[in-house]
Structure 1
Amino acid sequence: MQRNKPVAIWGKATAGENVTVTFGKQTKQTVADANGKWMVHLNAMPASATPASMTIASSNTITLNNILVGEVWLCSGQSNMEFSMAKSSKFANAVRSQGMDSAATANERNKNIRLFLVRRDLTKPDGANVNKGWNETEITYLKDFSAPGYYFARKLYEELNVPIGMIASSVSGSAIDPWLDGTIVKDTIKHTYAMNEKQPGKFFNGMIEPLAPYTLQGFLWYQGETNCFSKETTEYTYKFKHLINSWRKHWNNSNASFYFVQIAPHSYSKGKGLNEQTLPEFREAQSKALDLPNTGMIITTDLVDKIDDIHPTYKWEIGRRLALLALAKTYGKNIAYAGPTYKRMSIKGNKIELAFDHAEGLQSGDGQPLTWFTIAGADGKFVPADAVIKGNKIIVSSSTLTAPVHVRFAWHEAAQPNLYNKAGLPAVPFRTDRPNQSTAKK
């Protein structure tokens, strides 16, 4: 259960039946409503590593054992979030080489990290019966669990030293559309943008809504490839913001943390009607959700071996980077959590000077000249540029341009640039010719 917040406990009983919930020194009572629904809220509690029991008493008594109090997160999305630990090369190699019960995988057994995997059969009327509830971290349950979600939980546990509960609810190949609240889709989106699914709200109704209002700290989201193939930009931003707002609303927490993954390099141009800029334009649409409070985004431009593989295997690093976001922004740790992020530009003669946030210790990750910078004049034709680090700024120029106007960075589906900060976090792709970008001439 989530620490430091009132914890919702709910269920069903006979209409008008008295219900008593006891946990530790707390006792809460309520009466089931006309539909038999009831809910109580336990007072906020500190983290506890010692398991405890809860009793729920009415005409019958239910006892729930082995309960911990700590941090709870929900991760969702499509196949890259669903990507299981069994598919993770780090985990799978250890299991193959040492055996399922070897010491090599002992660090993946942790009674203080709990996993809840939402089965997609929840979309069926009786789907709730397929779930087995929470499980302690061990090979049997871990192998099917979200690798990004687990590695996120493991990093949090290492840094916070409190129990971590991770809920995973994802569906491979899904667009964002079926994860949207169906009511919101009907009222505000369907009339504006075409939906990718004939059943908007399909996965939300079966795999997200039943989880609310289970008290938690925040959400992780790794999805977008399917909508990118549909060449969505503004449409995706609109849907994504609605998803964030509606999920927060269902959890009665307008400030719940929401952190997401910018999708990785991939050869989208092989798709019909797509080109090398389809991906960076979609990433830009993802980033516009950062206008909402308590959001954050990690970059994955350096986590791909082959751009034809839409499922990069470096999920441990994705989980770690998401955890850095949470540790800094949710838990207030004074750590680096983002790579160089474009802030503003200044035109200085035949060069452009770029300023960044999170720019401490700008460096080339491989020691080679900076890559994937392009520059354009008033005609808007971008050409390869020379980019040089000067303190915490980048100076960009081209011998073919005397009057530069704009710069683009990593604005190509295959871009795997080498610009990092001293924390080893990659720079965020950007273009200065995006509307409302900050420019100055000097």
Structure 2
Amino acid sequence: MKKGLLYLLVVCQMAFGHSVELRAQAALKLAPAFSDHMVLQRDQPIVIHGTAPAGEKVAVSFSGKTQSAAADDGGKWKVVFSAKRSGGPLQVRVSSGGNELLVNDVLIGDVWLCSGQSNMDFALKNAVGGKDEVAAGHFSPNIRLLKYASTAPGGNVAWDPAMLEKVNRSEVYRGEWKTADAASVAAFSAVGYYFGKQIVAETGVPIGLIQVALGGSPTESWIDSATLAQDGRFAGMLHDWRHSPQVMEWVKQRGGENTLRATSPTQRHTFMPGYNFKAGIAPFTAFPVKGVIWYQGESNVHDVALHAALFEKLVTSWRKHWNAALPFYFVQLSSIDRPHWPEFRDSQRQLALRIAGTGMAVSHDLGDSLDVHPTRKMEIGVRLAKLALHDVYGKKITASGPVLRKAYRDGQSIMLHFGSARALRTLDDKPLQGFELLTTDGRRFAADAAIHRKTISITVPPNLKVTSVLYAYQPFSRANLCNEARLPASTFSISIPKSDL
């Protein structure tokens, strides 16, 4: 009898605990994008969403109006308010079943997503001039920061069982909106911060920056698994990514080190295909944004063609998930003394020309021959901002460096004509360097190049059969061509038809 009562008591306790857990899981919540000090996207319908007990009515009050919705069977709810112009501060009030949530100090402006790997994650406090920027304390109240950061330890660390389980549940990212102050700015992406600072200075529009970046992460981890599965080009990385030749060796090695203590045969990792989309990006796809800035590629440089396919898929899939033709501005990899980087930079240049609504900030002039994390981030953020200011905000500025338009022969010279320049010059006011000639037998020669306003002339030595002109094609390059705005020209290669030379 006593055993029966004891058993019944244990069962009741377990049931009670389970019901408490279910109620906790179903409690009224807002999605991760919503917290004090947030920015809502202007000029687009304002979508406010979250979770509540299934079937429960949720009322949301915002800017003098109230909208209601019932949580669906999965506990999800959303309401939509009409678009608003920039302004604030405002308050969001959410109530359901006697519970109430308040979101204070809400601005209406433009929201930019800042994503990629370690060079986007690179904190302002570690950048050249970053400590001075923080110490000066001149932070705009119109800049708001949401660092949605991974809690999984980086580096050669074997994750403990609790972290391994958290990774399996896709619960590694955390963060909330903050105003710009010394602490929040110092820890935020240097590239993202300088981008937002420049936009605010030029437009006066409140800018919200959402940082979702993870050091070492490959491109495929930021694309949803269903999209990857629909394209046969990526089949080799989906089922056993840790042993796939399509995945960079370093990425696979780090994955093995972090999961060394795993006991589950289906253990997940933050570098695996689709992971960072599900855990870090999907929570924001119902949250309207103005556009994306992206700094990534170091973990895909081993296969230039595969990266090109992945990057194009990344852009098109994110636009599909947000149901918007998002402007997408990205950073070309810098120069460093490693193989494949010139070809990768040239591929990125071609991607910017091929994919509509994108733009590329050149960075080879800011590279470090030995360090994959160059520290001059202010210039990168400003260059990205110039692209957005020109394309999105309609500013009549020079937004990029010289862009190669055509090449032709003129006697014993090759002539290269550039756009996005009123007059060509060099970054350091020294003689032009960085041009090479590639011959039919695969040899490379430094080219004798000269500037003629918007054209470069290259003298070809007699009897030299040239197939291509290369620029900034050394892994670590000191190429110095720029335009009147001192914005550098990209790494490029261009073929010279046999009929010409």
**Is the TM-score greater than 0.5?**
yes
For residues 205-232 of structure 1, the C-alpha deviation after alignment (integer angstroms, 9 at most, x for no partner) is 111111222111011110111211xx21
Q: Is contact 2:418-2:455 (8 Å) kept? A: yes
Aligned partners of 1:124 and 1:382: how far apart in 2? Answer: 48
Q: Work out whether 1:266 is the aligned partner of 2:336.
A: yes
Q: Is contact 2:346-2:493 (8 Å) kept? A: no
Q: Is contact 2:144-2:178 (8 Å) kept? A: yes
What is aligned with 1:100?
none
The runs of 5 or more residues in structure 2 that have no matched partner are 1-39, 153-165, 238-245, 253-271
Q: 1:393 to 1:252 in 2, by over 3 A?
A: same
Q: What is the SS of the residue equivalent to 1:289? A: helix
Q: Is contact 2:330-2:384 (8 Å) kept? A: yes
What is aligned with 2:160?
none
What is aligned with 2:128?
89
Corresponding letter in the other structure for 1:205: K
What is aligned with 2:89?
51
Aligned partners of 1:144 and 1:117: how far apart in 2? Answer: 9
Deviation, structure 1 residue 157: 0.5
Q: Work out whether 1:236 is the aligned partner of 2:307.
A: yes
Aligned partners of 1:251 and 1:431: how far apart in 2? Answer: 35
Aligned partners of 1:61 and 1:93: how far apart in 2? Answer: 42
Q: What is the SS of the residue equivalent to 1:431? A: strand
What is aligned with 2:44?
5
> Between the two proteins, what is the percent identity of the paired residues?
35
Q: Is contact 1:346-1:439 (8 Å) kept? A: no
Within-5 A mapping of 1:177-192: 177-188=220-231, 189-191=233-235
Q: Is contact 1:12-1:32 (8 Å) kept? A: yes
What is aligned with 1:219?
292
What is aligned with 2:189?
146
For residues 176-203 of structure 1, the C-alpha deviation after alignment (integer angstroms, 9 at most, x for no partner) is 1211211222332432662446721122
Q: Work out whether 1:299 is the aligned partner of 2:362.
A: yes
Q: Is contact 2:94-2:100 (8 Å) kept? A: yes
Corresponding letter in the other structure for 2:91: S
Q: Is contact 2:223-2:274 (8 Å) kept? A: yes
Deviation, structure 1 residue 403: 5.6
Aligned partners of 1:438 and 1:349: how far apart in 2? Answer: 14
More moved, 67-76 vs 199-208: 199-208
Q: Is contact 2:110-2:290 (8 Å) kept? A: yes
Q: 1:440 to 1:222 in 2, by over 3 A?
A: farther
Deviation, structure 1 residue 58: 2.4
TM-score by length of 1: 0.88
Q: Is contact 1:113-1:136 (8 Å) kept? A: yes
Within-5 A mapping of 1:79-118: 79-93=118-132, 104-107=135-138, 109-118=139-148
More moved, 25-34 vs 355-364: 25-34
Q: What is the SS of the residue equivalent to 1:240? A: helix
Within-5 A mapping of 1:12-51: 12-48=51-87, 50-51=88-89
Q: What is the SS of the residue equivalent to 1:151? A: helix
What is aligned with 2:12?
none
What is aligned with 2:207?
164
Aligned partners of 2:428 and 2:173: how far apart in 1? Answer: 48
What is aligned with 2:326?
256
Q: Is contact 2:148-2:175 (8 Å) kept? A: no
Aligned partners of 2:438 and 2:52: how far apart in 1? Answer: 67
More moved, 69-78 vs 57-66: 57-66
Deviation, structure 1 residue 408: 1.1
What is aligned with 1:395?
457
Aligned partners of 1:182 and 1:303: how far apart in 2? Answer: 35
Q: Work out whether 1:334 is the aligned partner of 2:365.
A: no
Q: 1:131 to 1:439 in 2, by over 3 A?
A: farther
Q: What is the SS of the residue equivalent to 1:310? A: coil
Corresponding letter in the other structure for 1:135: K
TM-score by length of 2: 0.78
Aligned partners of 1:130 and 1:178: how far apart in 2? Answer: 14
Aligned partners of 1:302 and 1:34: how far apart in 2? Answer: 54
Given candidates 346, 349, 356, the residue that maps to 2:418 is 356
Q: 1:106 to 1:94 in 2, by over 3 A?
A: closer
What is aligned with 1:207?
280
Q: 1:386 to 1:72 in 2, by over 3 A?
A: same
Q: Is contact 1:8-1:214 (8 Å) kept? A: yes
Within-5 A mapping of 1:349-388: 349-388=411-450
Deviation, structure 1 residue 246: 1.4
Aligned partners of 1:422 and 1:354: how far apart in 2? Answer: 17
Deviation, structure 1 residue 31: 2.3
What is aligned with 2:25?
none
Q: What is the SS of the residue equivalent to 1:264? A: coil
Q: 1:375 to 1:164 in 2, by over 3 A?
A: same
Corresponding letter in the other structure for 1:224: G
Corresponding letter in the other structure for 1:42: F
Q: Is contact 2:467-2:497 (8 Å) kept? A: no
Deviation, structure 1 residue 93: 4.5
